[in-house]
Amino acid sequence: QKEVEQNSGPLSVPEGAIASLNCTYSDRGSQSFFWYRQYSGKSPELIMSIYSNGDKEDGRFTAQLNKASQYVSLLIRDSQPSDSATYLCAVCPPRGNNRLAFGKGNQVVVIP
Amino acid sequence: DVKVTQSSRYLVKRTGEKVFLECVQDMDHENMFWYRQDPGLGLRLIYFSYDVKMKEKGDIPEGYSVSREKKERFSLILESASTNQTSMYLCASRPGGSYEQYFGPGTRLTVT
């Protein structure tokens, strides 16, 4: 089983809608969770960190963590064309040896 | 703001050449990382360093070496470049005690 899985294919959402991305992780003891945004040809940019169960909001972004079910989600409200990017989920496993485990990413396309 | 810089955005080298990729961070971070990113394979960790002169192998260290003589600088060395090392190379850093990791702009390396 992969450490971090992002299984959805490309997500197309109309401008102004909510984009919802999901990520599951295999190591139940993981404590730190991150979402990165990566524009085509650019490097990943940290947009959200979450450490406790529940929701964390930052502007139009909301991260949701459920440790019992081992998933972390990212909601993008009022999606804008500038949100079109690949979103990477990253998890720090307890035996991660000082390193993050990354998912392969989900592409989001916001249609004007 | 965290600033991670990489010596080149684009680099073209010939097979068999020795290649140096440099990464510098200005936030006094203890931990530094080198990844490569390829379509369909995601981010793969090559090497990381948690202190000056310390290094740890990541998932794909073969064909690479690293050097960290100063805290702010982490170099990736391709001893004898091969075409299968054509990739996007990403450096990242993070402070001790935190798992929030920050990436440099990346170097697109082409080996012909």
Instruction: Tell whether A101 lies on the interface with B, counting CB pairs under 8 A.
Output: no
B97: Cβ contacts below 8 Å, ≥ 6 apart: none
DSSP alpha helices (H): ranges in chain A? none
- Judge: A100–B101 Cβ closer than 8 Å, yes or no: yes
- CA-based nearest residue in chain A for residue B108: A41
Which of chain B's residues have a Cβ under 8 Å away from the Cβ of A99? 33, 45, 48, 58
Instruction: Tell me the pLDDT tens digit for each residue of A7-22.
Output: 777 999 999 999 999 9
Amino acid B40: pLDDT:
87
Amino acid A47: pLDDT:
97
Which of chain A's residues have a Cβ under 8 Å away from the Cβ of B58? 99
Amino acid A39: pLDDT:
97
User: Checking DSSP bridges between strand B10-13 and strand B19-25, what pairing results, if any?
Assistant: unpaired
The pLDDT averaged over each successive group of 10 residues in chain B (112 residues) is: 90 97 95 95 95 93 97 97 98 90 97 98
C-alpha–C-alpha distance, residues A96 and B101, integer Å:
14
Q: Is the pLDDT of residue A96 over 80?
A: no
Confidence of residue A81 (pLDDT cuts 50, 70, 90): very high
- Judge: A98–B43 Cβ closer than 8 Å, yes or no: no
Min Cα–Cα distance to chain B from A68, Å: 21
Instruction: Tell me the pLDDT tens digit for each residue of A34-66.
Output: 999 999 999 999 999 999 999 999 999 999 999
